[in-house]
Amino acid sequence: MMMRVFIAMLFLLALTEGWPRMYDKNCTTDLNYANGIQCFRAEQCGAIRKVNGELTCYLKCNCVRGDDCLTGEYINWDGNKNIKIFSCPKPWQ
């Protein structure tokens, strides 16, 4: 009985609050815009994924003045620590 109540509360929480975002709200997935690790524009940052020894850019973020872009750190979204987030210098810094 308690398990049903817990599942119902979790479901209602997901409906009212929404699921938490995995990354910044200004990010969009784009598989075709760059290769290698580099800053694509001063106001953007990207997530780099290592697949079969090659680095591929797969996430593009628009940085807004006063907001932090994704930070430079390894994250463990898929359990293998093969994704690295790179931040680019902002033009106002």
pLDDT digits (tens, 9 = 90+) for 33-54: 333 333 444 445 566 666 676 6
**pLDDT at residue 57, rounded to an integer:** 61
pTM of the model: 0.28
Copy the structure tokens of residue 23. Answer: 């990354």
Strands (E), 1-93: 27-29, 44-51, 54-62, 73-75, 83-86
Closest CA to 25 of 72, 73, 61: 61
- Its sign, for the CA torsion 62, 24, 29, 11, is negative
Q: Which position has the higher pLDDT, 4 or 56?
A: 4
Q: Topology of domain 19-87, per CATH? A: Anthopleurin-A (2.20.20)
Domains of the chain: which residue ranges?
Answer: 19-87
* Per-residue pLDDT at 34: 39
